[in-house]
Every structure is written in C-alpha cells, then in structure tokens.
Amino acid sequence: MKINTSTLVHFRLLSIVVFSALFASCTTDDIAPTLIEFSASQSNLNENGGSITITAKLNGLASEQIIIPLTITGTASPSADYTVSSNQVIINKGSDTGEISINAVDDTEIEGIEIIDITLTTTGNLVVVEDYQISIQLLDDDSDTDNDGVSDSEDDCPTIPGEIANNGCPYLGFLINEVLYDPAGDLTGDANGDGVRDANDDEFIEFYNSGPALDISGYKIYDATALTNNVPRHVFPSGTIVPANGVVIVFGGGTPTGNFSGAIVQTASDGQINISNAGDIITVEDALGNVVVTLDIAPFSANPDESYTRNPDIVGDFVQHSSIAEASGALFSPGKKVNGTSF
C-alpha cells in the first residue's frame, strides 16, 4: 500500500502536539500543595490577657493565595470568652505559612475550664493528609478547679491538685524527659551542636527535676552492660545541683555548643553513654546506690534516627520527637520543651 507522505507528516505533527499537551498537563504546577502542620503556640489560654497563635504550614511556597476555612466550636463562647482574628487562615502567594490569633476576654464570672475546638475545613486547592483539630483549654482566673490554691489561669496543671510553689503541679521527682540513642546518620544527627555528627557523642539523656532543688552529686548513670560490670557511664560531679523545675543534659561526648535554655550540660565521664539501639535499660542510682530512675527503651523503635520524648513534656508517654505537631519536624530538643521553648 502506498502511503501519502504529506498525510504521514501531518500525523507526526499532530502526535507531537498531543504529546506536548499531555506532558504540559502533568507539570508540578498542577499538584495542589500539602498541609504539613496545623498547630497552636500553646494548649492553654489564660483568661487574664492570654493569646494564642494558630499556624498552618505548607510543604512549599504557595503559587496562589490559599484560604483555609476554620470551624470553631466548644464550650467557650465567642465574643464573651474569646475573640478570634479570623475564621480562616490565609496563606499568601509566595509564602508557606499563615496565622490567626485567639485572644481571651477577661470577666468576673466563675466559669471553670472551658474548651475551644478548632477544626480545619479542607479546600479544593489544598491536600490535607489527616484530620487536623486543635483543642485549647481556656483557664479562668476567677476559679480554682482542682482546689489547690492556684487559680486556673496561673495553674500549669489546672485539673490536678499540686503545689503552690510548683505553679499548681504536683512534684514528680527526678525523671527522664527525652533520650536520643540513635542520632541520624548525617549532620541532622548533630544533637550536641559541635558541628560533627558522631554516633556516640550525640547520644543524650535529658533529665527534669520536678521538685525542689536537688543535689545529684555522685549520682551514676548506667546502661545494661555498665550496670552488669558496675562501671557507670557517667558520674555527676560534686556540686551538681539541679534547681526546681530545672534540666540537666548528659551527652555522650564532644563539645556541646549552642542554646540549651539554661540547662546544666555535661558529657559522659566514661566517654560515652552507649545505649544499644536493639534494646537497653537506663538506670540512675543516687550517691548511696539507691535506684532513682529507670527507662527501658526496648518498646521503642530500634532505629528512629531521632529522640524519644515525653508528650506532653514531663507528664506524657514517650513518642518519637518529629511525630509531635508542635515539634515542627525537629528531631530532638535537648534542654527545651518539644516545641522549642524553655521549661
């Protein structure tokens, strides 16, 4: 069969046009941005002058303005109990974040603890991979829910009776708040901030003293092997006194550098902490040999490439650091709360 060459040329040109159109329709410009964070600057809003910032963050810069509607409900009443700067978060073109603020309204009514629930409503030009909701406690400065002598607005533990000297929270003693036993393999694993990632040096244990000032001179830290051999990984030197609600961090080694928010920072006297990724038990004994703290890491992920931290800090269960929305993707936070603020 004889093929008309002009028809063949026309067919080839048409094929190129069709292919080009299909390729153009699959560019990344057509992919909707993804929401990776929807968080509050804090979970408690004090009636007396309290303010909270709600932040939405994308995985990249917006190519057009994105409007995210919010549904705000709960037992607290808008206008009477709080005001909100907007019922929608706007992320402008060229930006990756948008914010609104919620401000408390002070009154003289005894209302107890009220709740503000904020739910994100999805839009067509935004990919949302999970159900995002924020719940905020509005704390009344005219009531004391747990009857511990600290008004709800000043009480860090408004539903749990505690000590006036401890901002209304009970003293919990000397405890481990965060532990890093498997630093990431690249520079993101440089937890001690000395500019070098080292598998041993960047391990750390963060202790929190939920109680009056505590002298931990002579306290010893062991992993399972060190305990068997009775050779501690670290002995706290004489004069190590952790203030009430204070923090002490022990790194495996290196030269800890940076901002640890006033925490006491030491490096292991044995030159390493040596916590096994496959499972280990951290034991802390006081100067008399009494066990004061233990932590079994066996239930944790074997190779998380990040720390495990309590969520909420001090009182919560241990979870992987970056899994917490307030961490904003950070792999650890030695000396600080999970959201990067000071204790």
CB of 314 closer than 8 Å to CB of 320: no
Give the Cβ contact number of residue 7 at 10 Å. 9
Dihedral-angle region of residue 320 (phi above 0 means left; psi in -120 to 50 means alpha; beta otherwise): beta
Tokens 């009477």 locate to 80
Q: For residues 15 and 123, which has the higher predicted lDDT (pLDDT)?
A: 123
Q: What's the confidence (pLDDT) of residue 32? A: 75
Percent of the chain with pLDDT over 70: 90
Q: What's the confidence (pLDDT) of residue 31? A: 65
Distance from C-alpha of 180 to C-alpha of 182, rounded to nearest angstrom: 6
Query: What are the b/e assignments for 325-343, b being 16+ CB within 10 Å?
Result: bbbeebbbbbbbbbbeeeb
Nearest of 179, 172, 174 to residue 296 by alpha carbon:
179
Residues 60 and 141 in one domain: yes
Residue 3 lies in a domain: no
Residues 57 and 95 in one domain: yes
Average pLDDT over the chain, rounded to whole?
Answer: 88
Residue 12 lies in a domain: no
- The tens digit of pLDDT for each residue in 132-167 reads 889 999 988 888 889 888 888 888 888 889 888 888
Q: Which pTM does this prediction carry?
A: 0.62
Residues 292 and 272 in one domain: yes
Q: For residues 145 and 221, which has the higher predicted lDDT (pLDDT)?
A: 221
Q: What's the confidence (pLDDT) of residue 127? A: 84
Q: Residue 249: is its pLDDT beyond 70?
A: yes
Residues 74 and 127 in one domain: yes
Residues 145 and 183 in one domain: no
- The tens digit of pLDDT for each residue in 160-204 reads 898 888 888 888 899 999 999 999 999 999 999 999 999 999 999
Nearest of 335, 296, 336, 303 to residue 320 by alpha carbon:
303
Q: What's the confidence (pLDDT) of residue 26? A: 39
Give the Cβ contact number of residue 21 at 10 Å. 9
Pairing mode, strands 44-46 and 133-139: parallel
Alpha helices by DSSP H, listed for the chain, are 5-24, 224-229
CB of 158 closer than 8 Å to CB of 66: no
Nearest of 93, 87, 91, 32 to residue 57 by alpha carbon:
91
Q: Residue 317 sits in a domain of what CATH number? A: 2.60.40.1260
Give the Cβ contact number of residue 271 at 10 Å. 13
Number of domains in the chain: 2
Distance from C-alpha of 269 to C-alpha of 95, rounded to nearest angstrom: 47
Q: Residue 68 sits in a domain of what CATH number? A: 2.60.40.2030
Taking residues 304-332, what's their average pLDDT?
Answer: 94
Percent of the chain with pLDDT over 90: 65
**What is the domain range of residue 293?**
173-327
Q: Residue 8: is its pLDDT beyond 70?
A: no
- The tens digit of pLDDT for each residue in 273-285 reads 999 998 999 999 9
Residues 152 and 189 in one domain: no
Give the Cβ contact number of residue 165 at 10 Å. 13
Taking residues 331-343, what's their average pLDDT?
Answer: 94
Distance from C-alpha of 180 to C-alpha of 273, rounded to nearest angstrom: 10
Range with the poorest average pLDDT among 86-90, 111-115, 238-242: 111-115
Residues 250 and 158 in one domain: no
Taking residues 233-256, what's their average pLDDT?
Answer: 97
Indicate the DSSP class of residue 147: -
Using the Cα atoms of residue 188, residue 193, residue 195 and residue 201 in order, give the sign of their dihedral: negative
Give the residue from 133, 166, 199 where a domain finishes.
166
